[in-house]
Amino acid sequence: MSERNSSGIRDLPVVGGMASIPSRAATLGPVLDKIMPQVERLHLFLHGYADVPPAAQRAGVLTYLAGKDHPYRASGKFFGLSQESEPCLYCCFDDDIYYRRGYVRRLRRGLMAHGDRAVVGFHSIVFDKAGDGYRAQRRQVFWHGSLRDIRVDALGTGTIAFRSDLMPIDVTAWQYGDMDDLMLAQDLARQNIPMISLSRLPGLLFPAIRAQSDSLFYSMKQDSSRHDAEMRRLIDIRKAVSQS
């Protein structure tokens, strides 16, 4: 991969952001064990926790307790952006994914290849125009590797990285705090900022939890009406930007 517009990216500190819910407290420690050697610090948004769990009480983890009714919810992984005063390579994580050694290094290399004003990641979503609603339309690449970098319609926010000082993301303006993937995609589409799914070998990511009834994914499978509406909004935004 050739590097372009990569000035300074390799020298930026790596800062992580994650949101966690109490039902995943048991896996939080093992997940953090994988992440912390790869970042300088991690902003951990504890959504619905009464207290900071012991697994999070470690060097480099900055914790924030938030009630169940806090509007950030899953988008709390972006809360750390408001706490950083200097530029950084900001990497978002989920509390139900194991990230193998070299994961952040691969993200940094991918961002260097695609330039400062891009968001790179691995959990990609591409809309199939032959489909109907969000569940029917989306095609995903997640646990299995892909052979090449591709521009996609959305990225799962638990697998992304971007340069904080050149990526204007205003989470407080998002309509939903539990629909990060589509809210971020809309935000970036308005600014014509590309989302790139990076190539990788299998095994760089693997699930810490296979199925969970209180997950956002499970909720979407039961009722995708909000996702359907926001997907259509995203498609309309992209059309408007391309025609302007």
Number of continuous H segments (helices) and E segments (strands) in the chain: 6, 13
Q: Give yes or no for a contact between 193 and 85, defined as CB atoms under 8 angstroms apart.
A: no
* Residue recorded with tokens 């199939």: 128
**pLDDT score recorded for residue 90:** 97
53 compared with 176, residue with greater pLDDT: 53
Per-position DSSP letters for 27-72, written without gaps between them: HHHHHHHHHGGG-SEEEEEEES-SS--GGG-STTEEEEEE-TT-TT
* Residue pLDDT, tens place only, 130-170: 567 777 666 666 556 678 899 999 999 999 999 999 888 88
Rounded-to-5 percentages of helix, strand, coil across the chain: 40, 25, 40
Instruction: Pull the structure tokens for residue 133.
Output: 């609603």
Nearest to 68 by CA among 32, 36, 20: 20
pLDDT surpassing 90 at residue 42 = yes
**pLDDT score recorded for residue 149:** 93
Looking only at Cα atoms, what is the longest distance across the chain? 52
C-beta atoms surrounding 83 within 10 Å: 12
Instruction: Please tell me the CATH superfamily of domain 9-243, with its number.
Output: Spore Coat Polysaccharide Biosynthesis Protein SpsA; Chain A (3.90.550.10)
pLDDT surpassing 70 at residue 216 = no
Q: How confident is the model at residue 1 (pLDDT cuts 50, 70, 90)?
A: very low
